[in-house]
Structure 1
Amino acid sequence: MKTSSLQDLKTLSIASLQDTFSTRYHSKDFSFARSEYLRVRIQIIALLFALLTPLWAVMDNLALPEHTLNHVLLLRVVMFIGLVAILLASRFKRSNRSSLLLSTSIFVLPALFYAAVLVYLPNDGNYSLVGYSFIPYLLTATLGIFPFTLLESFGIGLGLLLLQFCSGFVDGTAFSPRALQDLWLLAALLAIAMTTNHFQLGLLLRLYRQATHDPLTGLLNRTALTRHIEHQTPQELMPPVAVMLLDLDFFKQINDQHGHSVGDQVLKRFALLLKKEAKQQDVICRYGGEEFLLLSGPCTVETATAQAERIREACHQLRLANMDGDAVSLTVSIGISMLRHGEHLNDAIQRADQRLYQAKRAGRNCIMAGTAT
């Protein structure tokens, strides 16, 4: 038992790391949800940085040579305009790519400002770092606020480490003990920020899955299906797309005769069957109690019917047993419709539901399909 628990924990840890390392295993609808989280944080941080930019001019007047103030002021104006542009863009652009680009710009813009200051200011009296050396640390700490993947966070953090290292060449202290200590401190902050990213994105994924996936079968729930449809591009929902509604026959009798625990096992096994028979681009959803929906495309009505027949036959061949070891028979009825050009997917689902009803009336354990016309 202890070995099994450790193995489960190891498997869970590896899966969690895969989820947070990159976006490779993220679904399209979760990527959209993450972009919304990024967008909110972009607006907050961009506004905060924009407010701090002119306020920090007070420090310039106290610490910098007078003949440099106008040039630094120009750099501040440029950064302020850039931050306002990021803030405005985040309110109108809502794609996944734009959210990631804008969130990266939140770090790139102040980093470029810091680099310009280091290059421009004279290195007399150590003016080049007065009032500015905190910027790499501030940006590294800010990384933890965003639900970045570990790969994204490491890329930004590596740029900040490089910037910190280059700043040592400007004031001639690149390999001094103090500079190496500062670089080590920045690396430690980056490790903390990446750990925060891991836990934040992992928590976001768990909450998302709890809200969008059926806890029993692990399939999308009906609400998530609606969101998935909303986030599809018109090209992705263009015909030929087949809509299948699948309903387990006499499922209420299975619950009544064998108990709900057996009924739950039936639902789990059928969900696994659907995953096995579905193509990679197919979308599977638990549509109701014992009703499932499968979007398959691109395909023809003939290929969709053949896929449905494989599912029907595999369901009929399932070997299930109740608590006493007695066999539990299982069949499924399937209704299929093809998405028509220019129609909403809900209309195709309604036609599939009508054909499912026809399959039930025809004696169950059969398929009713229709063409796009």
Structure 2
Amino acid sequence: MSGQTDTQRKEPERRKHSQRPAKQSLYLSIISHARADAVSSRFHSADFTQTRYGYVAARLKLMCLFFAIMVPVFALFDFLTLPSEQAQFLLKARIALSASLFLLVYVLHRQVSVAVIRIIITLTFLVPTVFYLSSMQSFSITPDAGVPLFFSMMPYLIMAMLGLFPLTVSGGLFLAGVIIIPVALFEANRFNGDYYALFNTLWLLSLFAGISLWLQTGQLLMLLKLYRESTVDPLTELINRRVLLRQASQEQKKSAEDLQPFSVMMFDLDRFKRINDYHGHAVGDQVLVTVARIMKQELRNTDIIARFGGEEFVAVLPGVSLGEATQVAQRVADSIRNKAIPLNDGESLYVTSSIGVTQYKTGEDIELTLKRVDDLLYQAKASGRDKVVDDQNMMHATGQLIAEKVAEVA
């Protein structure tokens, strides 16, 4: 940089510009995004979706297991309070419900993919609703026939159970509909002119549904907040190193199953410490945010981008070979190099990056892949910075160096 002496003199003044407004705006943005995400899972990251549904699956197992055991036990009260024929019918229905719940627990134990869990949670609330409707059908519909409180309260109990899970508003409304619609059709089918009883039932179900939705979104927002704080870099809004390693390990498994390649790129901003020293950390943070934004724009939605630490970024490109990844790295490097970052005094700052690129080798540990790409990055910096070095470049440079040594000896 030219004129560094003048810039150094301005350093204390530039550092007076507080970074707090930018950070406050960022945190408000994160909170706003979390609230929007509570409505739908459309923009949830794949990692958060897997984390959330893993939490849902654990709760589903416990709930299904508890009711699978307790539902047949309560058949004793049926035989004590109801006619024998009806009690025997209800016993069969209870056993069927219990067997269904045990089956759901078994499937959860065997397979916990997001798609399967979504089906299971729907069945978890649909099957008890069917049990309730079949049980009510067994009771006499004459005015003087009494229905035990356990059965009359069952749809409200089922609805209340929705509050145990961190669901989105759209997901909660869907499951509430799975419960309300069959019950409403059943009530309409046996409607005897008592509008008060009909609307009272639907109103109570809606009330329980509203409370459950409130509990669900509260859990989801808390889970989002904890997830973001532990996995997302608050400055760049990229995932952190821990999540990157987890997702890269998943890509490793997919690569072994599907025999699809994937490549890894590691970026390092050149002379970033000098930027912090001469322009202040607020400008340094602005540079990091700008580079993160460029990477998001240049890479695909399916690519995994993380802030690896300090001024280092890592991107995992599923289904991309080494040659293609090197071209992508060159394109990102060009975008970073040509991006003008405005400063407070009206001037612009330009930065460059050094990039290492490698392709995952089947069977190797992901840590070894990251070690190799880190070595390539080091070579890019050691050979003059503002370069992209991949496995092929490295082998070519090594062969050239050996040839030169041999020539010297000869």
Q: Alpha carbons of 1:298 and 1:52: their partners in 2 closer, same or farther (altered >3 Å)?
A: closer
- Structure with the largest fraction of helix: 2
Contact 1:128–1:171 (CA<8 Å) still a contact in 2? no
Q: Distance in 2 between matches of 1:293 and 1:63?
A: 67
Aligned length: 367
Query: 187-196 or 140-149, which moves further after superposition?
Result: 187-196
- SS of the aligned residue for 1:148 comes to coil
Which residue does 1:196 correspond to in 2?
Answer: 215
Provide, for residues 127-157 of structure 1, a one-character-per-residue CA deviation record: whole Å limited to 9, x for no partner: 5565311111111111111122222222221
Q: Of 316, 319, 331, which residue of structure 1 is paired with 2:352?
A: 331
Q: Of 362, 370, 380, which residue of structure 2 is paired with 1:359?
A: 380
Q: Alpha carbons of 1:227 and 1:173: their partners in 2 closer, same or farther (altered >3 Å)?
A: farther
Contact 2:34–2:224 (CA<8 Å) still a contact in 1? no
Q: Of 37, 48, 58, which residue of structure 2 is paired with 1:19?
A: 37
Query: 345-354 or 137-146, which moves further after superposition?
Result: 345-354
Query: 318-327 or 349-358, which moves further after superposition?
Result: 318-327
- SS of the aligned residue for 2:362 comes to coil
- SS of the aligned residue for 1:287 comes to strand
**TM-score normalised to structure 1 length:** 0.88
Q: Alpha carbons of 1:161 and 1:205: their partners in 2 closer, same or farther (altered >3 Å)?
A: same
Q: Where do 1:128-139 residues align within 5 Å?
A: 131-139=150-158
Q: Distance in 2 between matches of 1:222 and 1:194?
A: 34
* Alignment of 1:177 onto 2:196: yes
Q: Of 301, 321, 324, which residue of structure 1 is paired with 2:322?
A: 301
Q: Distance in 1 between matches of 2:76 and 2:166?
A: 33
Which residue does 2:232 correspond to in 1?
Answer: 213
Provide, for residues 33-92 of structure 1, a one-character-per-residue CA deviation record: whole Å limited to 9, x for no partner: 111111121123223323431343344245422321111112112222222333343334
Look at both structures and tell me which one has the larger radius of gyration over its CA atoms. 2
Which residue does 2:206 correspond to in 1?
Answer: 187
Q: Distance in 2 between matches of 1:9 and 1:366?
A: 34
Which residue does 2:364 correspond to in 1?
Answer: 343
Q: Alpha carbons of 1:88 and 1:242: their partners in 2 closer, same or farther (altered >3 Å)?
A: closer
Which residue does 1:256 correspond to in 2?
Answer: 277
Contact 1:167–1:174 (CA<8 Å) still a contact in 2? no
Contact 1:249–1:333 (CA<8 Å) still a contact in 2? yes
Give identity over the alignment, percent.
31
Provide, for residues 269-325 of structure 1, a one-character-per-residue CA deviation record: whole Å limited to 9, x for no partner: 111111111122211111121111112243343332222122222222222355555
Q: Distance in 2 between matches of 1:13 and 1:345?
A: 33
Which residue does 2:311 correspond to in 1?
Answer: 290
Q: Distance in 1 between matches of 2:277 and 2:355?
A: 23
Q: Distance in 1 between matches of 2:289 and 2:312?
A: 13
Q: Where do 1:1-373 residues align within 5 Å?
A: 15-16=33-34, 18-124=36-142, 125-127=144-146, 131-169=150-188, 171-173=190-192, 175-232=194-251, 234-235=253-254, 238-371=259-392
- SS of the aligned residue for 2:164 comes to coil
- SS of the aligned residue for 2:151 comes to coil
| Offset at residue 267 of structure 1 (A) | 0.9
Amino acid at match of 1:355: L
- SS of the aligned residue for 1:243 comes to strand
Which residue does 1:3 correspond to in 2?
Answer: none
Q: Distance in 2 between matches of 1:48 and 1:235?
A: 35
Q: Distance in 2 between matches of 1:120 and 1:292?
A: 65
Gaps of 5+ in 1: 1-6
Q: Distance in 2 between matches of 1:281 and 1:57?
A: 52
Provide, for residues 162-208 of structure 1, a one-character-per-residue CA deviation record: whole Å limited to 9, x for no partner: 23223435654475311211111211221222232223222212221
Q: Alpha carbons of 1:60 and 1:239: their partners in 2 closer, same or farther (altered >3 Å)?
A: closer
| Offset at residue 370 of structure 1 (A) | 2.1
Contact 1:60–1:131 (CA<8 Å) still a contact in 2? no
Q: Distance in 2 between matches of 1:16 and 1:217?
A: 16
**TM-score normalised to structure 2 length:** 0.80
- SS of the aligned residue for 1:82 comes to helix
| Offset at residue 227 of structure 1 (A) | 1.6
Contact 1:168–1:175 (CA<8 Å) still a contact in 2? no
Contact 2:122–2:178 (CA<8 Å) still a contact in 1? no
Q: Alpha carbons of 1:308 and 1:152: their partners in 2 closer, same or farther (altered >3 Å)?
A: same
